[in-house]
Structure 1
């Protein structure tokens, strides 16, 4: 067993990584890490689209409508717990170890879900599946932001987070066929849906094995020689690809840090609350708003269509496809403006704009103006903007806190914001569906209010992080130790 010697060093690794031109190596990072959001979108959509089927006696589970909402809440609760546990481990033991472990947990749990024969087994499996996905959020977002050049960080981060909706679209189309009783028995189709999710996860795991550890994490934790070697290999690969030597990095771009083994919970909390109180409020606001809206709507949308608007079970999942496309196109098309126009303007516009559009949709829905087609059309427009805002929440909390606490910061805000908005939302909407359209409209208005409030917080407390190195946005704790 080797012993790592911790010391004070100077390194140019952050500047060397940020000055790299976009290359095939960056696409490896995107494909290996970013594709996990497809799995999360698939999971959420499968349960939402299969919600009505799972309430049928011949499904093998026979859940009630309220239990479908409860299962959604349990999945989110697992994600919150997983994000905190694995987030801390990610900051301590490295990005790569944890984004392999968390994906492995997801694979095992989602396979086990396919073999559920009682509600309790189903709930436990959903909790563990959520724990794997929650841990992924912390490990993946921190790794991506530390590997992608600063000038492209916003656009890439939003596009990757937006890939969640590719999983949603895939899940919606998949469930249309799996819900067809002419093709699959009621107790078989939904089980196959979870099994296919595991197959996709296995493919991602094979690609992910080739993604390296974050050099920024390595030099902080006493592995500076390994980090120098890794960055040198990346630079050599890119120079061979482009045929052009990379620009040298000046001595003035070096940072001096005191290496550390780990960062404790107390220091993490102290850093966020006492040193960055405004950023703490900002992160919490952004997460609560988007988590309530998305988890409430998407875990129960199929039930709204089937129970309240009379849409057949095998047709309802199709409505999620255009909504998913709108969600994916929002971050993809608007992402580059987060790097050019800036974070504060784009984040506040996305949140406030989607909140206003949602309030209008709620009013029209309550007034009986919208049928299933037009309600879906309204959601496409609402979520085009909301999706860009929701993706930027992960980008924001990943950028605005020190490197040593990055994964734990993502985990904390995800857990707290999602816990408040994501658990309450599905359970509340599961009950509101039983009370009819007016009650659901009130729930939509609550979501609109939270989104608008979060957008206003961004206006006043937003951080102008566009195109800036991570170390400039928030000085690493190890750099303070060296000083």
Structure 2
């Protein structure tokens, strides 16, 4: 299969995942009055979503090693698409939270499986680039989420918008008829016989611990900052709802060049140095955002934050599957993703704090991750 088609077809599924993850931050603003959301209700909704993603990453990562990457990709896409459409009928925030748990199962399950699939189907010299390009579709999902919030929430409402988003379920037919199963997984299935995944995972405990810590700190900061940023802009900076959507839409545009820069640099300079640098620059951007006094300064450092932090997401997604053998790549990547989901749960708990305090904690977390990633082995150009 040509690499361009590989990245495109998997990337569109990745984009739909990002759309569904990131639309939640806008939903918390849009449906606040109708469902009578207070701070506690919002936290419960976010917690339900993130618990679903945590369980989904572990469950579907293991299934991908057992039954194949393609089948699990299709299953996760159907799970979150159908559940998203059902969430449009929620009568109160409690129902919405329960449904959002099932949305999270699919969302959390898809990401490690698709990253593993692209990594296994790419040549060593372009493997990192391809996975970062896959991750760049996250920015398209982020832009789409901002656009839906700005143009559809304000016209047809959030319920009708969620119904439309459920149509992503039909993309499963594209996956079914255009993507083959991972050849490496098929070869391994014929060879492995009585292979015990737990034994092999045990040989990589130190590496998995380090990778998990990096994932945790990355997600802790990202979701701690971006999930509540629209709410914080309204609460602390006096932005209107429409003004917030416009600001988020503009700053999200910086994510795409951030991914492209990382896609180029990971094959030129390596995974470790680029990941460390982008973590450090993410921390710096967050620190300067705190001290911004004007709209122009806020915009500049929000653009920088989107550029570098989404770039490092691409690096970490490319790096992780390369650190483990094929027989446990799905479960290992899923476990690393589960560490991210724990960060995703804890990061938003910073919300009661003011942005200056929350972003300072996040900046410190990213500086720690910048150091930790340097302790992992470099994989650029290696056969995995």
Task: Determine the C-alpha separation between the residues in 1 that align with 2:202 and 2:235.
Answer: 48
Is the contact made by 2:255 and 2:306 (CA closer than 8 Å) also made in structure 1? yes
Counterpart among 365, 370, 373 of residue 455 in structure 1? 370
Partner residue in 1 for 2:67: 93
Partner residue in 2 for 1:325: 253
Q: Are 1:194 and 2:166 counterparts?
A: no
Partner residue in 2 for 1:38: 15
Partner residue in 1 for 2:37: 63
Partner residue in 2 for 1:423: 345
Q: Are 1:400 and 2:323 counterparts?
A: yes
Report 1:214-233 matches (<5 A): 214-222=182-190
Deviation at 1:262, TM superposition (A): 5.7
Uncovered stretches (5+) of structure 1, i.e. residues with no partner: 1-23, 223-257, 433-438, 471-483
- Structure with greater helix share of residues: 2
Report 1:4-83 matches (<5 A): 25-56=2-33, 59=34, 61-83=35-57
Deviation at 1:193, TM superposition (A): 2.2
Partner residue in 2 for 1:282: 210
Deviation larger for 280-289 or 159-168: 280-289
Residue 163 of structure 1: SS of its match in structure 2?
helix
Uncovered stretches (5+) of structure 2, i.e. residues with no partner: none
Task: Determine the C-alpha separation between the residues in 2 that align with 1:67 and 1:190.
Answer: 18
Larger radius of gyration: 1
- Cα separation, partners in 2 of 1:108 and 1:202, compared to 1, 3 Å: closer
- Cα separation, partners in 2 of 1:40 and 1:97, compared to 1, 3 Å: closer
Report 1:346-361 matches (<5 A): 346-361=274-289
Residue 91 of structure 2: SS of its match in structure 1?
coil
Task: Determine the C-alpha separation between the residues in 2 that align with 1:318 and 1:360.
Answer: 21
Task: Determine the C-alpha separation between the residues in 2 that align with 1:311 and 1:359.
Answer: 21
Task: Determine the C-alpha separation between the residues in 1 that align with 2:281 and 2:126.
Answer: 24
Deviations 1:367-411 (A, max 9, x none): xx244x532321111221111112222222211011111111111
Task: Determine the C-alpha separation between the residues in 2 that align with 1:428 and 1:342.
Answer: 33
Report 1:254-273 matches (<5 A): 258-260=191-193, 263-264=196-197, 266-273=198-205
Is the contact made by 2:65 and 2:329 (CA closer than 8 Å) also made in structure 1? yes
Is the contact made by 1:179 and 1:313 (CA closer than 8 Å) also made in structure 2? no
Deviation at 1:203, TM superposition (A): 4.5
Task: Determine the C-alpha separation between the residues in 2 that align with 1:305 and 1:198.
Answer: 29
Partner residue in 2 for 1:13: none
- Cα separation, partners in 2 of 1:313 and 1:357, compared to 1, 3 Å: closer
Task: Determine the C-alpha separation between the residues in 2 that align with 1:198 and 1:326.
Answer: 27
Deviation at 1:415, TM superposition (A): 0.8
Q: Are 1:295 and 2:223 counterparts?
A: yes
Counterpart among 361, 364, 370 of residue 446 in structure 1? 361
Normalized against structure 2, the TM-score is what?
Answer: 0.94
Deviations 1:422-445 (A, max 9, x none): 10111321x22xxxxxx3211101
Deviation larger for 91-100 or 375-384: 375-384
Task: Determine the C-alpha separation between the residues in 2 that align with 1:138 and 1:260.
Answer: 24
Count of residues in correspondence between the two structures: 383
Q: How much is the aligned-residue C-alpha RMSD, in angstroms?
A: 1.8
Q: Are 1:467 and 2:343 counterparts?
A: no
Deviation at 1:36, TM superposition (A): 2.2
Deviations 1:90-141 (A, max 9, x none): 1011111111111111121111111111212111111111110111012211
Partner residue in 2 for 1:16: none
